[in-house]
C-alpha cells in the first residue's frame, strides 16, 4: 500500500473544507447518481447508491468515459491561467458558497436563485448525462444536471425573447488580470438552443459537486458546440431580443463565430477541424457533425448556411 507523506501532496489535491461540506450537502439533496455499469457514488459507502436515482439520461452516449483524473485536471478556465493544468492548481481559492444566479431581461418573473434552489429545481430521475465534449481535444464526461429549460420556464421568457446571455463570475483579486479576454467571461445562445433538452444546467460531475476548475458551482454544458460556448461559474443569465456579445467572438471574430457548432467542414483559420483526438487515445478520429448529436439538434439550423454562420 502506498502511503503518501505530506510533502508528496500538492495543494491542488487537498479538498477544502468548503468543498467537502458542499459535497455532503449535494449528496443529501440527491443530486448525485450512480454511474452506468453500477459504479458507486463518490463519497458514499458501498450499497448506498441503491437508494438514490441511478438512471442515465436517454440522451447519453454509450461510449467509454474519459478518466476522472483527466476531466478534473486538464481544463480550459482562463481566469485561472492559460495552461491546461493551471485551473486545477489555482481555482481552489474561489469561494462557491454562498452563490446566486440572477435571471433577468425579457422575462415575466425575474428572479435570483440560490445554489440550493438550483440543486432542487428539477426531478431526479434523469440527472446523469454521459456526453461527448470537444475543445482542442474530446472527452466523454458524466455530467450531473438537468435541462436549462427547467430554469428558464421558472422565469417565463416573453414572446419577444430571442437569445439567452450568460455572465461568469470574475474576481480580479484571485483571477487573471491580464486582458486575455474581456472579463467577465460572456457567452450566449439562441433561445431555442438554450431550451433544447441537451443544453444542461450542470451542477456536478463524476458523482460529486463540480470542482472549481470545472466551473463550480453551476455552469452550462452545450455538447454539440465547442467547449468555450459552455460558460462556467455563472452568476447572471439575461434573456434578450438581440444577439449578445460573447468572449471569443469579440476577441477574434474571424476565428470564433457566435454559433460555434462542431462542424468538420469549417476549419479554424489556423488548423483543420476535420479530425479530433480524444484524451487518452493517441490516434485521431473523424470529427462528427454537431459532435455526434446531429439527430437531436440539426433541425435547429434548418435552412442556415453553417459555413457562414460558423
Which residues lie closer than 8 Å to 125 by C-beta, 6 or more apart?
53, 55
Looking at residue 195, what is its pLDDT?
A: 98
Measured between alpha carbons, how far is 149 from 237 in angstroms, rounded to an integer? Answer: 12
Three-state secondary-structure class, residue 285: strand
Q: Are 149 and 195 in contact (CB under 8 A)?
A: yes
Looking at residue 32, what is its pLDDT?
A: 31
Looking at residue 58, what is its pLDDT?
A: 85
Task: Classify residue 163 by its DSSP letter.
Answer: E
Rounded CA Rg of the chain:
19
pTM above 0.95, yes or no: no
Q: Is 50 exposed, middle or buried (0-12, 13-18, 19+ CB in 10 A)?
A: exposed
Looking at residue 123, what is its pLDDT?
A: 61
Looking at residue 222, what is its pLDDT?
A: 98
Which residues lie closer than 8 Å to 277 by C-beta, 6 or more apart?
137, 138, 283, 284, 285
- Residue ranges in the chain whose pLDDT is less than 50: 1-54, 124-126
**Vertex 221, ends 107 and 121: CA angle to 5°?**
55
Domains recognised in the chain with CATH numbers: 23-301 (3.90.420.10)
- pLDDT tens-digit series, residues 31-78: 333 222 222 223 323 332 233 243 678 888 889 999 999 999 999 999
Looking at residue 101, what is its pLDDT?
A: 98
Measured between alpha carbons, how far is 269 from 289 in angstroms, rounded to an integer? Answer: 18
Looking at residue 25, what is its pLDDT?
A: 43
Which residues lie closer than 8 Å to 235 by C-beta, 6 or more apart?
99, 100, 101, 102, 167, 168, 169, 184
Q: How far apart are the first and last CA of the chain?
A: 52
- pLDDT tens-digit series, residues 1-32: 222 233 333 333 334 444 444 444 444 333 33
Amino acid at each position: 500500500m502506498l502511503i503518501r507523506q505530506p510533502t508528496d501532496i500538492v495543494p491542488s489535491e487537498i479538498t477544502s473544507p468548503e468543498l467537502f461540506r458542499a459535497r455532503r450537502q449535494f449528496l443529501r439533496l440527491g443530486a448525485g447518481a450512480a454511474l452506468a455499469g453500477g459504479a458507486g457514488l463518490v463519497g458514499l459507502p458501498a450499497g448506498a447508491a441503491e437508494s438514490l436515482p441511478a438512471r442515465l439520461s436517454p440522451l447519453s452516449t454509450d461510449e467509454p468515459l474519459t478518466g476522472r483524473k483527466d476531466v478534473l485536471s486538464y481544463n480550459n478556465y482562463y481566469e485561472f491561467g492559460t495552461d491546461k493544468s493551471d485551473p486545477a492548481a489555482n481555482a481552489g481559492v474561489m469561494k462557491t458558497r454562498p452563490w446566486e444566479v440572477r435571471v433577468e431581461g425579457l422575462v415575466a418573473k425575474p428572479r435570483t436563485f440560490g445554489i440550493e434552489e438550483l440543486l432542487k429545481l428539477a426531478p431526479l430521475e434523469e440527472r446523469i448525462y454521459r456526453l461527448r465534449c470537444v475543445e482542442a481535444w474530446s472527452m466523454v464526461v458524466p455530467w450531473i444536471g438537468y435541462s436549462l429549460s427547467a430554469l428558464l420556464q421558472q422565469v417565463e421568457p416573453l414572446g419577444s425573447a430571442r437569445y439567452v446571455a450568460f455572465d461568469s463570475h470574475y474576481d480580479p483579486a484571485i483571477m487573471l488580470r491580464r486582458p486575455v479576454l474581456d472579463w467577465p467571461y460572456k457567452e450566449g445562445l439562441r433561445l431555442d438552443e438554450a431550451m433544447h433538452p441537451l443544453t444542461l444546467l450542470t451542477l456536478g460531475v463524476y458523482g460529486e459537486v463540480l470542482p472549481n476548475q470545472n466551473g463550480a458551482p453551476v455552469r452550462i454544458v452545450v455538447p454539440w458546440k465547442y467547449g468555450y460556448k459552455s460558460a462556467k461559474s455563472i452568476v447572471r443569465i439575461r434573456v434578450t431580443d438581440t444577439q449578445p456579445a460573447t468572449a471569443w467572438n469579440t476577441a477574434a471574430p474571424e476565428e470564433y463565430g457566435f454559433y460555434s457548432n462542431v462542424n468538420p467542414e469549417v476549419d479554424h483559420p489556423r488548423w483543420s477541424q476535420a479530425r479530433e483526438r480524444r484524451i487518452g487515445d493517441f490516434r485521431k478520429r473523424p470529427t462528427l457533425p454537431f459532435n455526434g448529436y446531429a439527430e437531436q439538434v440539426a433541425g435547429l439550423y434548418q435552412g442556415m448556411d453553417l459555413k457562414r454562420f460558423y
